Chain A
């Protein structure tokens, strides 16, 4: 019943695929792909959907959201927390996500130094006084390299049957293209930005003259900011309140790097150890009538390791060996494994990272395992 009602209500009405809000976000993602910004702020981030989409963009290292309403931010902000997997396999890049509570009419130093600032469907919610301060805060104070602003195009409104005044009761105004563009051009001129206009939501055929449903201005700062110039009259005091902060685990953080390296070293060493011991065992148990299958199973993997080691053996004249109950695996061997190599970069770094975390031989050249107490079963 309800469903039919809805369908009826929307038949014959313009419907965008994908939905318009998605097209706007997609546009931001496209900009991110194009300019590869490291620090991105979303003003009027609402329920953080755009921020959530952006956290998957691997170029971004700092993400910030700002909204005047905390409850809407809090609703889904935990989507911005790292996932279990982010801890299991820390990424190369670092990422910090912060949410602030505050107004775009106020300056706060936490918004400085951003590469891209997005204001998606924001300005039409601003009171006149706020709108007046907005350019100074965003372009004058924050002064990012790129600003993207989207807002409804009122020329499109007649195509929506229900819309009498504005598309949303909270809208303070809705501009036509001329209004938006003259505001944007004036702002760009004053703060030394260039601006280009585009939009999303194509009008139906025959109605092209109304323009995009959502109009978008992309502002690019003309001159690279000299760090001093803008800094002069910056307030040092913050007025925004931090609502949420998440620091993603990253290999840039020594703690996570060390964990990753130690894990990889021990795991690699274990594999080598096991294949070494299997070799020893199968030699000793030739008379055994059962483990034939076992031997053939493990030999190929042994070969594969010898291949890997081959070159090193020649160079360093060192290879893993067993001495009584103790297995020695040279660090050089371990370093030659791609994953370890990639994580550490240099042999020195490897030594430094595993110091004190992995048992080494007396001269520090090999990982040592004592196998005496293993394989004891109940």
Chain B
């Protein structure tokens, strides 16, 4: 602060009122501190404050802080009196004490809770009841979200009553932006292929072509015109992989006994979709499943529908 030089004096003039104020404050606080310390010392001398037991950690902290202050004031003194502080042993000691204080800080943070509790018991004068040191669950509840908590409880209660039902979403085929024309083309192609391999066309082929007639094991596997159906193929694969025989289902047994049951009449009478598609005359019609007739005398609604005469 005090330096030789004229420009330095100008700076000093600027800082002067502030410096005076600071010095005044320093004087006041120093007086207060000294009075406090004197009273504490007298208390300790009289034996009112017991200082034997206590956290040694805190003692270390106080001692280091004191040494730090002493060294710091020595440095300030030297600077105020104009001496340089280059290569002073004070500086080294200050650095050492500073590092110690830094190391103490996280430990201090961890002990904070315990120290607070002890201080509280000392102040309130309660007995050293071990249960008073247990956790306080009321402190854990957040006091901000009270409204939200109440609502959530109600909703949870109502939800628990009903069973979770997963959404019924059936997977649908993705047609990747097919245009109507290409779709028609595909349908036509499929219908043509079906027509070519239908029973009628096969018989015609046998009649008119010179190829030898093919007989073979056709019912169990290789039943359809293009060999075994998908189901039969899958069953065969499963049986061969797992070395087991799957039992015969009821419909399979019936088909074995009466192979043409239910299908012969349809085969014979199903002309329309077969040939005209091949010639390109007619567009393939949608396959409609035969409507089921109500079983027995009484229909669904419980009465027989009368035919109008």
A and B associate: no
Enumerate chain A interface residues (CB-CB to B < 8 A). Answer: none
Enumerate chain B interface residues (CB-CB to A < 8 A). Answer: none
